[in-house]
Amino acid sequence: MEKIIAGYTVDVTEEGYLTQMNQWNKEIAEAIAKELGIHELTEGHWKVIEFLRKDFAETEKVPTTRRIKNVGNIPTKDLYDLFPDGPVLKAAKIAGISKPVSCV
């Protein structure tokens, strides 16, 4: 389905995950973040978002928490502090990639 986010028309799933990562931009990220209760995206948030986008583009999979830690060099504690209550779910939505499907 189509949705207008930050003035841009994008394709999203019913849960609001972008289906085409190239329709994403930083304004969209900020608008989704606000919807999820994150009012300001700091440098720390961008580091996570950029890693998720890069890894997703390379592997076609949303990285696990462990991969974000070991490959993305983002400590698990920071991840949870930056995106409370479901960090990978939230970060993936803001990053404009698929909903994570992994159990770990």
Which residues would be at the binding site for another protein (CB under 8 A)? Answer: 64-67, 69, 75-77, 80, 84-89, 102-104
Torsion-angle region of 60 (φ positive above 0: left; ψ -120 to 50: alpha; else: beta): left
By beta-carbon proximity to another protein, the closer residue of 4 and 104 is 104
Residue 26 beta carbon to another protein: minimum distance, rounded to whole angstroms = 25
By beta-carbon proximity to another protein, the closer residue of 10 and 63 is 63
Helix 87-94, helix 26-35: angle, nearest 10: 140
10 Å CB burial of residue 68 (0-12, 13-18, 19+) is buried
Q: Of these residues, 1, 4, 101, 103, which one is catalytic?
A: 103
Q: Is 20 a catalytic residue?
A: no
Q: Which residues are catalytic?
A: 103
